[in-house]
Amino acid sequence: MSGGDQAPGDRRVSMAQARTDLAGFRTQPALDRTTLAWIRTSLAMATFGFGMVGFFRSLREEDPTAEAVRLHQAAIRFGTGLVVVGVCAMALAALSHWFTLRRLRRGDCLELTRWPLAIALALLLAIAFLAGLWDLLKR
């Protein structure tokens, strides 16, 4: 139906506007849920990094062989890397949330990014895992 076919007080126009406003309102809680999921993921990575260091430390204390010391040192490097990636992911998620909220409040058109946070984080983790594997295999 073209714009000329609508009566001046057409109820469909006001209903469409209300649905559009409601869609904008629903976008913010969806963004909040996504950011909370990123926070959970970031905390899990950092916690896993700390846990790995603690686990290999206990192995080194029980059996202080050269192999246990080497594994503990590798776990410290890899665990520290996971903590750093977790903190970076959390900071990037917070920045992304903030910038997206600003665009929503201004009424700007939201568009997809070329490098979503998930892909960037997946690449960082893949590089970290390959570096950790290289470190374990080269010795």
Backbone angles phi, psi at 83, to 5 degrees: -65, -45
Would 21 be classed as within a structural domain?
no
Query: Which contacts (CB < 8 Å, 24+ apart) does range 70-76 have?
Result: 70/139, 74/132, 74/135, 74/136
Q: How many domains does the chain have?
A: 1
Query: Mean pLDDT in the chain?
Result: 80
Would 98 be classed as within a structural domain?
yes
Would 9 be classed as within a structural domain?
no
Q: What pTM value is reported for the model?
A: 0.69
Range of the domain at 51: 28-138
Would 49 be classed as within a structural domain?
yes
**Which SS3 state, helix, strand or coil, does residue 6 take?**
coil
Position 120 confidence tier, pLDDT thresholds 50, 70, 90: confident
pLDDT in tens, 58-100: 877 888 888 878 878 888 888 888 888 899 889 989 998 898 8
Would 42 be classed as within a structural domain?
yes
Would 87 be classed as within a structural domain?
yes
Would 82 be classed as within a structural domain?
yes
Listed residue (56, 59, 90) closest to 75, CA to CA: 56
Would 6 be classed as within a structural domain?
no
